[in-house]
Structure 1
Amino acid sequence: MKHISTLLLLFFTLGIYAQKVEIPVDTTVVTEHSVRIKGQNIKYTATTGTQPVWDESGEPIASLYYTYYKRSDIQNTENRPLVISFNGGPGSASVWMHIAYTGPRVLKIDDEGFPVQPYGIKDNPHSILDVADIVYVNPVNTGYSRPIPDKEGKIEREKFFGVKADIKYLAEWLNTFMTRNNRWLSPKYLIGESYGTTRVSGLALELQNSQWMYLNGVILVSPTEIGIDREGPVEVANRLPYFTAAAWYHNALPQELQNRELVDLLAEVEEYSINELLPVLIKGGFTETSKKQQAAEKMAYYSGISEKVILQNNLEVPIRYFWKELLREDSGYTVGRLDSRYLGLDAREAGDSPDYNSELTSWLHSFTPAINHYLREELNFKTDLKYFMFGPVHPWDRSGDNTGENLRQAMAQNPNLDVLVQSGYFDGATTYFNAKYSMWQLDKSGKMKDRLSFKGYKSGHMMYLRAEDLKNANDDIREFIENSLPKEGAPAKY
């Protein structure tokens, strides 16, 4: 590996211990590969390494690790889309979408997403690399990315670890990346998963207003609230469709509902939640007893948990309690938070929340060995740094989260900017119905609704782990990119 420049510095991990590590500040490693996608052999280069974050005086204050995939048989990139990919957390590496979703290599897992041994990765025949180049970016303290202490050994946390700070420095970093890789003329897309949707929603406007970089699309995978308020009765009502989906998957609903196609059933529950349940919840303790009883009966019918439990919680069953309660009487297992298809086993069946997130432990089982092996042995990036699947970024300053409004403003300023929302029906952390709600609330004027679209999948937070949805979700991105590219010579105007 050729180091353009490196620093030997003291890095503190969580303040518990210190060790001397060599952090490559500005490094590039290039390897050549090929993959078969949609029956076509695609040759590509993988560029991996680190690129600095600069301060106002031009000194490096952080080193961000990235991996950039570029088709090597297309020389003219002015019409070649570039997808910039972020994961979430905050504090999560880009590993998840990198080696399980859009990239040219994916995990060896079973068709439903569960780990198998021997661990490893394989070619991804559904990657979007046929239609777009991709760069996976790791923010500070994720993956191999690290802050660089000043001369006194201090790290300016406020420059990295917060909603606004995160967006600001990443926009600057992307400006440098575009210049170094000659991608200013390319159509540009941001994709973010989970907290990454907060990140890319804010970046859409920051890139336009501070970097004068205009996008063609933003893809929100399992989106967070993106600063859109839904507290109180709305948040409670919005839970029910997810409850239905999880119960349907575990065969916990009445048989007449189990026999229904999931998407059709969910449409019915959505209408009930909006038109009937929400008015009952709004009146709270002043709701007529008969209406409260009717609501509890209907919620029990649609959720797979008892009317008694629902009434004991005043119709507001906590979502963590649902993960514990759904299968308590049947099998005693808990269901997963990020993907409720996964089962957990607690020390005792009693209690009001699961002991652990069963889906996350399963995912770390397969992702961690795969990414560590892949980056070192296939992409030839050699380092003794620990790869942070989840890094020390907390406390995270969440004040001033106006990212949904930022995205709306970016769309208003840029007629060429479209948005795609992707969600799994069995995601209990960032539920699909909350994702729909955010999309509906994003532009209350309705004047841009034809530029907003939603796709749902019969899986969870990382819908792409399920083989069928790996194909479908990538195809949806591929179609979104192709449809959002303006026709040659078409002006960006209303």
Structure 2
Amino acid sequence: MAEEHVAATPEKAAAASKTFTWRAGEQALQYDATAETVECLARDGAKLGDMFCLSFVVPRNPNAPRPVTFCYNGGPGSSSVPIDFGGFGPRILAESPDLAHLSTPWPVVDNPHTPLPVTDLVFMDALGTGYSTVEKGKEAEVWCVDGDAKAFAAGIAAWLTAHGRWGSPVYLMGESYGTVRNAVLVRMLQEQGVGVAGVVMVSALFDWSQTLPGNVLYYAGLLPTYAACAQWFGRAGQGEDPDEFFERACRWAGEQLAPALLLGDAVAPERERELAGQMAELVGVSEQWLLERHLRVELEDFRQELLRDEGKVVGRLDMRHWTWLDQPVQLNGDHIAAEDPADDATNSACVAAFRAFLQELGYEGPSVYLDNNYEKVNKDWKFAHQAPGVLDTGMAPNVAYDLATAMRRAPRMRVCLIGGRYDAATPWWNVEQTLANLYLPTELKANIEGHLYGCGHMAYYDADTNAAMGAMLRDWYQK
């Protein structure tokens, strides 16, 4: 390991950089890790905030510039720690057995599946999360769909300038709400003269209306994920291949369930009972329970119902996880939604690994690191967004139109979609349904790759998925 290099930044924690060696089998790669903040300036020069970045850069050949990928999580209100130390950075949490809850601290190892051999990586914290700060009075300006994308566009431009990387191919990698950000950001960067070579969408959601209560697409989209969960726990699909069972559930959701939900009480009682029987066979709960809900199954209801006879509730971000049901006095819907065993299993271990790495790097940030700031950022977030070419501002945005516009402008730009069967936060069925309704020309559709894995929302926490996904991404970058 080389000696430490420190550069002071006025009115900020000093940037810190060290050189490390990544090893995987017989492979070895030297890289520089740098923790710093960059200034985010609006187009008129007004300061929006300071964005914290942790970058991993391989010394490069000036005649063959390496790609650089800007990475972030979602929320809104999440820092970039999970996507970094969870799965894509050069160091990650060691593999956990059988979906176990990790103790803290948890061993950290060189990540054999990181895309670092083919692209430099810059992990960025959204303003108001992690060590990123918002200028006083600018919160409403940046805690919204368009303002957030503007802040990231400014942060990316500042990083490219500070590191002399304007000649490098630029990629974006976002997870969850980070995919909403990606869709708006890639269009916005184009409008500011920054071309994007490719976009990686991990656990994507583009049409926010599908999350609203009572939306038919919400119920239909969750059905295949419920089925995958029921199969995992032995309540449905016994003896069937998981991929084939999931695909069968996807077809049934689109061809049988969605049309019936659109008809509402115009569906004959006999037909509703027939559908309830078919649905019960797929999702592992009783026909009567489904009839009482007229086939409209809320996520928090299903999480508590599937294993109720065992006194358990299943996860949301990854429905393979479970924990014990709370007492009846605690069964507030918001509480159940927030109490997610899939998140509990990994979050503290991931944050501890990140903080320990910053200590090793010599970065002396504040003692408080907002790994998530949902109670402030998410609570105050404004979802209004005017899609390109659309006259009205939608309160529940569909940013797929932004993505389609960006793809038409840059017909060589590629998009990689990654999703998980057990992800109930951003169901795979909804992504496919949204993109199918863009009616993209064949030439542009060929630039979109979809990869479904046997994982949850944080795809990288699944060891088998991380290995397959890592190999896939290295190939994808080099196409």
SS at match of 2:380: coil
Which residue of 2 is the match for residue 284 of structure 1? 264
| Larger CA deviation: 133-142 vs 434-443 | 434-443
Q: What amino acid is the match of 2:184?
A: G
- Does the 8 A contact of 2:38 with 2:51 survive in 1? yes
| Larger CA deviation: 128-137 vs 365-374 | 365-374
TM-score, normalised relative to structure 2: 0.89
Cα distance per residue 1:32-64 (max 9 Å; x no partner): 001124642111011111111235664644111
- Does the 8 A contact of 1:144 with 1:385 survive in 2? no
State the Cα distance separating 1:416 from its structure 2 match: 1.4
| Larger CA deviation: 242-251 vs 279-288 | 279-288
Which residue of 2 is the match for residue 406 of structure 1? 402
Which residue of 2 is the match for residue 301 of structure 1? 281
- Does the 8 A contact of 2:210 with 2:217 survive in 1? no
| Larger CA deviation: 317-326 vs 107-116 | 107-116
Cα distance per residue 1:81-105 (max 9 Å; x no partner): 1111011011100001111111100
Which residue of 2 is the match for residue 212 of structure 1? 193
1:243 & 1:71 partners in 2: Cα distance? 42
1:225 & 1:319 partners in 2: Cα distance? 19
1:374 & 1:113 partners in 2: Cα distance? 24
SS at match of 1:158: helix
State the Cα distance separating 1:178 from its structure 2 match: 1.3
- Does the 8 A contact of 2:35 with 2:53 survive in 1? yes
Question: Equivalences for 1:432-443 in 2 at 5 Å?
Answer: 432-443=428-439
State the Cα distance separating 1:188 from its structure 2 match: 1.4
Which residue of 2 is the match for residue 379 of structure 1? 361
- Does the 8 A contact of 1:336 with 1:358 survive in 2? yes
1:251 and 2:238 aligned: no
- Does the 8 A contact of 1:120 with 1:369 survive in 2? no
- Does the 8 A contact of 2:99 with 2:321 survive in 1? no
State the Cα distance separating 1:135 from its structure 2 match: 0.5
Which residue of 1 is the match for residue 394 of structure 2? none
Question: Equivalences for 1:145-156 in 2 at 5 Å?
Answer: 145-149=132-136, 155-156=137-138
1:317 & 1:64 partners in 2: Cα distance? 40
State the Cα distance separating 1:111 from its structure 2 match: 4.0
1:325 & 1:357 partners in 2: Cα distance? 15
1:275 and 2:255 aligned: yes
Cα distance per residue 1:337-379 (max 9 Å; x no partner): 1111111212337968574211112222311221211112x22
The one of 137, 141, 151 equivalent to 1:169 is: 151
1:145 & 1:98 partners in 2: Cα distance? 16
- Does the 8 A contact of 1:101 with 1:474 survive in 2? no
The one of 352, 357, 369 equivalent to 2:340 is: 357
> Structure 1 residues 225 and 55 mapped into 2: Cα distance closer, same or farther (>3 Å)?
closer
State the Cα distance separating 1:78 from its structure 2 match: 4.4
SS at match of 1:128: coil
Cα distance per residue 1:268-293 (max 9 Å; x no partner): 12111211222222211011121111
1:266 & 1:214 partners in 2: Cα distance? 37
Q: Identity of paired residues, percent?
A: 26
1:310 and 2:290 aligned: yes
State the Cα distance separating 1:194 from its structure 2 match: 0.5
The one of 396, 404, 424 equivalent to 2:381 is: 396
State the Cα distance separating 1:226 from its structure 2 match: 4.3
TM-score, normalised relative to structure 1: 0.87
Which residue of 2 is the match for residue 80 of structure 1? 66
2:130 & 2:107 partners in 1: Cα distance? 18
1:399 & 1:459 partners in 2: Cα distance? 31
1:44 & 1:283 partners in 2: Cα distance? 58
- Does the 8 A contact of 1:408 with 1:443 survive in 2? no
The one of 153, 156, 160 equivalent to 1:178 is: 160
1:95 and 2:107 aligned: no
State the Cα distance separating 1:433 from its structure 2 match: 1.6
Cα distance per residue 1:420-444 (max 9 Å; x no partner): 1111111111112222223323444
1:332 and 2:311 aligned: yes
- Does the 8 A contact of 1:37 with 1:127 survive in 2? no
The one of 5, 8, 12 equivalent to 2:10 is: 5
SS at match of 2:350: helix
- Does the 8 A contact of 1:405 with 1:442 survive in 2? yes
State the Cα distance separating 1:129 from its structure 2 match: 0.6
Which residue of 2 is the match for residue 347 of structure 1? 326
1:48 and 2:27 aligned: no
> Structure 1 residues 239 and 69 mapped into 2: Cα distance closer, same or farther (>3 Å)?
same
1:76 & 1:440 partners in 2: Cα distance? 41
1:60 & 1:277 partners in 2: Cα distance? 49
- Does the 8 A contact of 1:300 with 1:307 survive in 2? yes
Which residue of 2 is the match for residue 69 of structure 1? 56
> Structure 1 residues 112 and 129 mapped into 2: Cα distance closer, same or farther (>3 Å)?
farther
State the Cα distance separating 1:299 from its structure 2 match: 0.4
Which residue of 1 is the match for residue 392 of structure 2? none
Q: What amino acid is the match of 1:252?
A: R
Q: RMSD over aligned Cα, in angstroms? A: 2.1
Cα distance per residue 1:170-195 (max 9 Å; x no partner): 11221121122122222211010000
> Structure 1 residues 352 and 317 mapped into 2: Cα distance closer, same or farther (>3 Å)?
farther
SS at match of 2:256: helix
2:28 & 2:18 partners in 1: Cα distance? 17
Which residue of 1 is the match for residue 126 of structure 2? 139
> Structure 1 residues 77 and 404 mapped into 2: Cα distance closer, same or farther (>3 Å)?
farther
1:435 & 1:239 partners in 2: Cα distance? 11
The one of 170, 173, 186 equivalent to 1:188 is: 170
> Structure 1 residues 312 and 107 mapped into 2: Cα distance closer, same or farther (>3 Å)?
same
The one of 94, 107, 124 equivalent to 2:93 is: 107
- Does the 8 A contact of 2:51 with 2:126 survive in 1? yes
Which residue of 1 is the match for residue 205 of structure 2? 224
- Does the 8 A contact of 1:92 with 1:389 survive in 2? yes
- Does the 8 A contact of 1:47 with 1:67 survive in 2? yes
Cα distance per residue 1:117-156 (max 9 Å; x no partner): 542421111111111111011111111111233xxxxx22
Count the aligned residue pairs. Answer: 453
1:265 & 1:56 partners in 2: Cα distance? 50
- Does the 8 A contact of 2:217 with 2:430 survive in 1? no
1:352 & 1:397 partners in 2: Cα distance? 25
For structure 2, the residue ranges without an aligned partner over 5 or more in a row are 1-5, 386-396
SS at match of 1:49: strand
SS at match of 2:326: coil
